[in-house]
Amino acid sequence: MENYVFNASEEYALKLDKNDCLASFRNEFYVMDGKIYLDGNSLGLLSKRSETSLLTLLDSWKQFGIDGWMEGENAWFDLSERLGGRLASLIGALPVEVIVSGSTTSNLHQMIATFYQPQGEKVKILADELNFPSDIYAIQSELKLKGFDPHTHLVQVSSRDGRIIEEDDIIRAMTDDIALIVLPSVLYRSGQILNMKRLTEEAHQRGIIIGFDLCHSIGAIPHELSDWGVDFAVWCNYKYLNSGPGSVGGLYVHKKHFGQVPGLAGWFSSRKDKQFDMEHVLTPASHAGAYQMGTPHILSMAPLIGSLEIFEEAGLKNIRNKSLLMTRYMMDLIKYELREMGFSLGNPIEDSRRGGHVFLEHQEAARICKALKVNGVIPDFRAPNGIRLAPVALYNTFKEVWETVQILKRIMTDEEYKQFENKREVVA
């Protein structure tokens, strides 16, 4: 972003697009005609390569039947491990520390069941009050299963402003009674990046296991989980990684924990060469594969094969650089064009603390989102007053960012939003 000097003209947006080293990747995706899709932080668009890899895996079922487990270019039996190895570079992990399996929530249950081992005074779990609800539900469930009351044994760090969580506040909450910490890498509403390295170091100094939910960071920002010593992480692959609705998630476990028996075991927790011995005593895999449970969902995993090809070619550093420039440009346009219209930026301004989306706040947010959709812009509403706009580096353009802000300005100036009810849809 060294040469970036803000200019509000459409010509400047076109100039940024002309100089975009990732511009050609837009052609890899099924971009919707007449629409500006800014919801890739909820569900990424389908790429042509993901479509091909899905159809190829479907064809392997047709061609091989049950022999598809061991035959074909992408044999199913160890596909989770191979895809985990390819994902490892996106989070700074060793290939053996990553497995593609389950969903964010089921994987989080697995991690808590494995690593939450209350002993002595260390009996509580630390989280934050701005985390995605599913993570909190999982923590509450696991506490109950261990015989503890979530009201007393789940500690949630408060936000000072309802938008961000200060790392200093998290560290102060790392008291002697905390056994486990579960935090987001990027807050799903405000897009704040937590300093995972610092928090991990502070947790380990106090003998606390710490893990992160990477749903809003994987594929968008760099990580160095192994070097930082992070104990575990979980994520979905359908946001920035574009692997399709409800696709198989992923998990990471630091190699220092290898050999620990999974809290929730299943037959795919087994060492591969022992799995079909059908013994009633589990021999866990010696790597992250031990934390799988049931049979992999092959067809839901298949789109990730094609998607990862794109990431390997584009490079995460290039993706992050463009993402930062797009969100910086969008924020500058908002401040320039939407002055005195009731908007405020709820995301961090600093590049080092900002994830992949812009978080706009407005008291009429729900009806503004509806107006945007009618005008061909796909945003993401977050109750009670948030509008998430995610210009994704692989398929959005700077001109789309410019057009979005012009549409927003017209919606507000002409009061188009007033024709809609200020209430979210069933799916927001």
Percent of the chain with pLDDT over 90: 97
Q: For residue 288, which of 271, 311, 305 has the smallest C-alpha distance? A: 271
- State pTM to two decimals: 0.96
Residues 283, 272: Cα–Cα separation, whole Å: 9
Q: For residue 116, which of 181, 162, 165 has the smallest C-alpha distance? A: 181
CATH number at residue 344: 3.90.1150.10
Domain ends where: 281, 312, 343? 312
Mean pLDDT on 278-300: 96
Q: Which two structure tokens, joined as six digits, stand for 127?
A: 């989280």
Domain ends where: 297, 312, 327? 312
Residues 181, 48: Cα–Cα separation, whole Å: 39
Q: Are strands 377-378 and 124-128 parallel, antiparallel or unpaired?
A: unpaired
Residues 6+ positions from 57 with CB-CB distance below 8 Å: 74, 76, 298, 299, 301, 302, 305
Co-location of 14 and 141 in the same domain: no
348-405 residue pLDDT tens: 999 999 999 999 999 999 999 999 999 999 999 999 999 999 999 999 999 999 999 9
Co-location of 19 and 82 in the same domain: no
229 within domain boundaries: yes
Residue list for the binding site: 104-105, 132-135, 213, 216, 238, 267, 295
Co-location of 20 and 136 in the same domain: no
Tell me if the bond preceding 384 is cis, omega within 30° of 0.
yes
Co-location of 414 and 377 in the same domain: yes
3-state secondary structure of 13: helix
Report the chain's mean pLDDT, rounded to a whole number: 97
Percent of the chain with pLDDT over 70: 99
Residue list for the binding site for pyridoxal 5'-phosphate: 104-105, 132-135, 213, 216, 238, 267, 295
| Helix count and strand count (H, E) for the chain | 13, 13
Q: Are strands 380-382 and 386-389 parallel, antiparallel or unpaired?
A: antiparallel
Residues 415, 75: Cα–Cα separation, whole Å: 56
